[in-house]
């Protein structure tokens, strides 16, 4: 009788073991299929396999892996809250896995839920205080929440535990940049490149810092480096920022209605247009100014931002009438145009002003030394580059 009972117990145990083995086979196969579907971009299909794993083998290492992949698949599908719940389920099983806390913290960080992100990163650090990734993630969160002293401590901790790792210096560069300490930022970014030469984004950051300092030439030098490295994405990013930060310039000027700006002193007003040969007549003329970047339309159309004047003696192209005394026949121009039309498509301002003949029909003018100056702004709020904000026929764009 005892022998029969023992045989029955052995059979039951064997069946249980066999069943357990079969479950493990099914679970491992489902996990493998899920990962395969995820890698192929079939996220919905992968989720079905991962859910099968967590149902058949809850509270196991395989379940933790499945929840982790579930979170990744949900993120790919734009289902952020589901991803958060999946990470939390993985953490319940593997609470000592600091990488899971960092992954969950990253989701919160992307959602700008910085307090929750900070808690996850701090938990990760309690688990593994020697991780560069954990310290850097926490430092980034401190930056976003303006806890600058804590951010500096976090980045310096990286340098302490891993002095040859670039992350600490890069973090200090980002901190310095955020504080407006551009020279310090450049120094840290350059140190970053010494430790990791292929970290091209540091060139972008250096370019940003130079551009914010107003040193556009140095920013363009970083752009040249990126172009030489064939990093089109980074180069485009920096080029766009330089464009935004650069002061606008008058790129070209032309006239098509008779106001020839190369004609010098004592030019008869009557020679500018036939109708001006009549005493007391008036004629509208338009100068076309082409800018090198998008301008603020309201700023360009504001006639008070445009000045029309006679060139001073100190002008690069010489003074009006070559500095000689003016005759009584010299025409007077209003200091501002009558109106300005701005074409946003071709970045051209049409500046219209008036010239009038005197009562004796012998008025004169020096078109080559009439100065047109613009003091407005571009669409980004940048003031004009003073090296290219005015035009006259002889000095051209100065």
Residue by residue, pLDDT tens for the chain (398 residues) are: 544 545 544 444 344 334 455 788 899 999 999 999 999 999 999 999 999 999 999 999 999 999 999 999 999 999 999 999 999 999 999 999 999 999 999 999 999 999 999 999 999 999 999 999 999 999 999 999 999 999 999 999 999 999 999 999 999 999 999 999 999 999 999 999 999 999 999 999 999 999 999 999 999 999 999 999 999 999 999 999 999 999 999 999 999 999 999 999 999 999 999 999 999 999 999 999 999 999 999 999 999 999 999 999 998 889 999 999 999 999 999 999 999 999 999 999 999 999 999 999 999 999 999 999 999 999 999 999 999 999 999 877 76
Same domain, 269 and 134: no
Mark whether 321 and 189 lie in a shared domain. no
Task: Report the run of H or E that residue 157 belongs to, with start and end.
Answer: helix 148-161
Quick check: is 156 in a domain?
yes
Size (the chain), residues? 398
Q: Which domain holds residue 147?
A: 20-203
**Residue 183 shares a structural domain with residue 326:** no
Among candidate residues 184, 203, 222, the one where a domain is terminated? 203
d(CA 221, CA 217): 6
Q: Distance of alpha carbon 365 from its chain centroid, rounded?
A: 49
Do 274 and 179 lie in one domain? The reply is no
Q: Are residues 186 and 304 in the same domain?
A: no
Which of 140, 168, 203 is the C-terminal boundary of a domain?
203
| 142 and 274 both lie in a single domain | no
Q: What is the CATH number of the domain that holds 71?
A: 1.25.40.10
Q: Answer yes or no: are the C-beta atoms of 377 and 368 closer than 8 Å.
A: no
Q: Where are the beta strands (DSSP E) in the chain?
A: 250-255, 267-268, 282-291, 306-310, 339-343, 348-356, 364-365, 370-374, 390-392, 396-397
Structural domain contains residue 230: no
**Same domain (yes/no): 36, 105:** yes
354 with 260, same domain: the answer is yes
Which region, left, alpha or beta, applies to residue 350 given φ > 0 means left and ψ of -120 to 50 means alpha?
beta
pTM, rounded to two decimals: 0.82
Chain position carrying tokens 């990093």: 231
89 and 190 housed in the same domain: yes
Our count of domains for the chain comes to 2
Examine the domain organization and report whether 175 and 50 are in the same domain.
Answer: yes
């Amino acid at each position: 009788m005892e022998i029969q009972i023992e045989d029955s117990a052995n059979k039951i145990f064997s069946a249980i073991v066999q069943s357990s083995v079969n479950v493990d086979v099914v679970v491992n196969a489902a996990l493998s299929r899920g990962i395969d579907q995820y890698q192929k971009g079939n996220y919905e299909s992968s989720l079905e396999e991962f859910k099968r794993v967590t149902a058949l083998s809850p509270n196991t290492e395989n379940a933790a892996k499945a929840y982790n992949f579930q979170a990744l698949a949900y993120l790919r599908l734009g289902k952020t809250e589901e991803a958060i719940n999946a990470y939390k389920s993985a953490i319940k099983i593997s609470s000592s896995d600091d990488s899971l806390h960092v992954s969950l913290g990253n989701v919160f960080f992307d959602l700008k839920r910085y307090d929750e992100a900070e808690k996850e990163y701090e938990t990760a650090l309690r688990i593994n205080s020697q991780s560069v990734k954990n310290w850097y993630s926490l430092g980034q969160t401190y930056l976003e929440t303006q806890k600058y002293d804590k951010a500096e401590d976090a980045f310096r901790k990286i340098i302490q535990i891993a002095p040859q790792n670039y992350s600490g210096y890069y973090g200090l560069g980002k901190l310095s940049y955020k504080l407006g300490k551009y020279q310090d930022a450049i120094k840290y970014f350059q140190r970053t490149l010494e430790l990791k030469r292929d970290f091209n984004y540091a060139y972008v950051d250096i370019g940003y810092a130079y551009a914010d300092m107003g040193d556009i030439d140095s920013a363009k030098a970083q752009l040249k480096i990126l172009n030489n490295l064939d990093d089109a994405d980074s180069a485009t990013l920096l080029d766009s920022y330089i464009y935004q930060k650069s002061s606008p310039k008058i790129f070209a000027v032309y006239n098509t209605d008779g106001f020839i700006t190369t004609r010098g002193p004592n030019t008869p007003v009557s020679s500018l247009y036939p109708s001006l040969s009549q005493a007391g007549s008036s004629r509208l003329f338009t100068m076309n100014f082409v800018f090198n970047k998008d301008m603020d339309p309201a700023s360009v159309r504001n006639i008070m931002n445009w000045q029309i004047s006679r060139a001073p003696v100190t002008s690069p192209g010489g003074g009006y009438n070559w500095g000689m005394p003016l005759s009584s026949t010299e025409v007077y121009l209003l200091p501002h145009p009558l109106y300005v039309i701005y074409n946003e498509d071709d970045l051209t301002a049409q500046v219209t002003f008036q010239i009038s003949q005197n009562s004796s029909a012998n008025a004169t003018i020096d078109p080559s030394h009439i100065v047109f100056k613009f003091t407005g702004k571009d669409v980004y709020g940048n003031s004009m580059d003073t090296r290219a904000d005015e035009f006259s026929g002889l000095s051209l764009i100065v």
